[in-house]
C-alpha cells in the first residue's frame, strides 16, 4: 500500500487505541506526517547498486522452521543477525542472489540494542532490515516494507514474550513472559530481568532473548508469506504521526505526568 492510505481511518484508530490515555497528542497532529515523509526525490544515486531493484525474489518459508533456525542462530550471531540469517540463509539456498551477496554476519552488532547501547532491540532492527530489503524501501514505490517493520515493532511492544518453545532448547527452563511496552532492548530486557529475577549474564536471560528472536522471526515470516500471496494488509503505523515527534506511545513511562508538548506548527 502507499503511505497516503496509512493515514486513513483504520490506522488512526489503531494509533489512538495504542496510545489512548497515555499521552497528550501533539498539536501538530497528523499533518506532522508530511515532515517525516516528504515527497521522495526520484533520481536514484548515480552509481546505483546491483541489488537495488525491488522487490527481491521471495519464496514462502515455514514460520516454525524459520523460528527454530533463528533460535539456534541467536547463540552464534545474536538477535538482529539471527533474524536476518534465519530468513536469508534459507533464501540463499532456494533463490540464491541477491541473498548470497548480503553480508548477514556483519549485523551481529545489533546485539544489545546496537553495540550494547540498549536502543532498538536487535530482533526489531533485523526484522525491519528484512522487510525493507525484500519488499523494498519507500523510494521503490511501496511503503509496505517500512510499515510491516513498524507493525512488527507494535506487536513486539504489546505482546507477552517469549512464547516460543524451542524444539531443541539450550536450557530446560520455564521462562516468564513480559510485555515490553517498547521496541527498545533496555526496556524489554530490563522488564523481563525484573520479572524473572535473573541477571543479564544468566543462561535464562540469554535463552529468553533467543526465544524472543524466534518469536519475532515467526511473526515476520507469517507477514511475508501473506505479502507473497497478495493477502498482506499492513496494520503498521508511522508513530510520529499524531505526536509531532518520532516516538513510542507510552510517553508517561519516561516522562511521568509531565509530558512535554513539541513546538506547534504555525497556522499558515
Q: Print the binding letters for residues 247-266 with a second copy: x by CB under 8 A, - otherwise.
A: xx-----x-x---x-xxxxx
Question: Which residues, at least 6 apart from 234, have a Cβ–Cβ distance to it below 8 Å?
Answer: 1, 6, 143, 144, 147, 148, 151
List 43, 172, 174, 267, residue binding a second copy (CB under 8 A): 43
CA dihedral 171, 91, 233, 55 (to 10 degrees): 150
116 interacts with a second copy by CB under 8 A: yes
Tell me how far apart the alpha carbons of residues 63 and 46 are, in angstroms, rounded to a whole number: 38
137 interacts with a second copy by CB under 8 A: yes
Give residues 13-42 in contact with a second copy (rule: CB under 8 A). 28, 31-32, 34-36, 38, 40-41
- DSSP one-letter string for 82-122: HHHHHHHHHHHHHT-TTTTTS-GGGGGGGTTTTTTS--B-H
Instruction: Retrieve residue 95's grid coordinates.
Output: 533463490
125 interacts with a second copy by CB under 8 A: yes
50 interacts with a second copy by CB under 8 A: yes
114 interacts with a second copy by CB under 8 A: yes
Give residues 175-204 in contact with a second copy (rule: CB under 8 A). 183-186, 189-190, 193-194, 196-202
Tell me how far apart the alpha carbons of residues 205 and 197 are, in angstroms, rounded to a whole number: 10
Please identify, using beta-carbon distances, which residue of 124 and 217 lies nearer to a second copy: 124
Give residues 141-170 in contact with a second copy (rule: CB under 8 A). 145-147, 149-150, 153
Q: How far is the CB of 102 from a second copy (least distance, A)?
A: 6
- Cβ atoms < 10 Å from Cβ of 163: 13
Tell me how far apart the alpha carbons of residues 176 and 258 are, in angstroms, rounded to a whole number: 32
List 11, 61, 70, 77, residue binding a second copy (CB under 8 A): 77
Q: What's the half-sphere exposure (Cβ side, CA atoms, 13 Å) at 231?
A: 7
Q: How many residues bind a second copy (CB under 8 A)?
A: 102
DSSP 30: G
List 14, 170, 205, 235, residue binding a second copy (CB under 8 A): 205
Q: How far is the CB of 76 from a second copy (least distance, A)?
A: 5
Q: Do residues 18 and 25 touch, judged by C-beta distance below 8 A? A: no
Please identify, using beta-carbon distances, which residue of 104 and 218 lies nearer to a second copy: 104
Q: Do residues 36 and 238 touch, judged by C-beta distance below 8 A? A: yes
Q: How far is the CB of 136 from a second copy (least distance, A)?
A: 7
List 30, 71, 102, 164, residue binding a second copy (CB under 8 A): 102
Please identify, using beta-carbon distances, which residue of 63 and 136 lies nearer to a second copy: 136
Q: Do residues 129 and 107 touch, judged by C-beta distance below 8 A? A: yes
Amino acid at each position: 500500500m502507499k503511505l497516503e492510505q496509512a493515514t486513513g481511518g483504520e490506522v488512526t484508530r489503531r494509533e489512538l487505541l495504542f496510545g489512548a490515555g497515555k499521552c497528550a497528542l501533539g498539536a501538530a497532529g497528523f499533518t506532522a506526517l508530511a515532515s517525516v515523509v516528504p515527497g521522495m526525490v526520484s533520481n536514484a544515486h548515480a552509481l546505483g547498486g546491483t541489488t537495488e531493484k525491488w522487490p527481491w525474489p521471495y519464496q514462502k518459508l515455514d514460520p516454525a522452521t524459520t523460528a527454530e533456525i533463528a533460535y539456534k542462530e541467536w547463540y552464534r550471531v545474536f538477535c538482529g543477525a539471527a533474524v536476518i540469517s534465519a530468513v536469508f540463509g534459507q533464501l540463499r539456498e532456494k533463490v540464491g542472489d541477491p541473498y548470497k551477496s548480503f553480508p548477514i554476519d556483519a549485523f551481529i552488532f545489533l546485539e544489545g540494542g546496537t553495540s550494547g547501547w540498549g536502543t532498538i532491540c536487535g530482533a526489531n532492527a533485523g526484522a525491519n532490515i528484512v522487510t525493507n530489503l525484500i519488499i523494498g524501501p519507500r523510494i521503490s514505490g511501496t511503503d509496505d516494507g517500512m510499515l510491516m517493520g513498524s507493525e512488527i515493532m507494535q506487536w513486539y511492544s504489546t505482546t507477552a514474550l517469549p512464547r516460543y518453545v524451542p524444539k531443541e532448547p539450550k536450557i530446560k527452563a520455564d521462562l516468564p513472559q513480559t510485555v515490553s511496552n517498547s521496541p527498545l532492548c533496555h526496556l524489554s530486557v530490563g522488564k523481563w530481568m525484573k520479572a524473572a529475577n535473573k541477571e543479564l549474564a544468566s543462561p535464562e536471560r540469554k535463552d529468553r532473548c533467543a526465544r524472543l528472536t524466534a518469536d519475532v522471526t515467526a511473526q515476520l515470516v507469517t507477514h511475508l508469506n501473506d505479502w507473497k500471496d497478495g493477502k498482506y494488509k499492513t496494520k503498521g503505523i508511522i508513530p510520529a504521526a499524531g505526536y509531532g515527534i518520532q516516538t513510542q506511545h507510552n510517553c508517561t513511562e519516561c516522562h511521568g505526568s509531565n509530558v512535554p508538548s513539541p513546538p506547534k506548527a504555525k497556522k499558515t
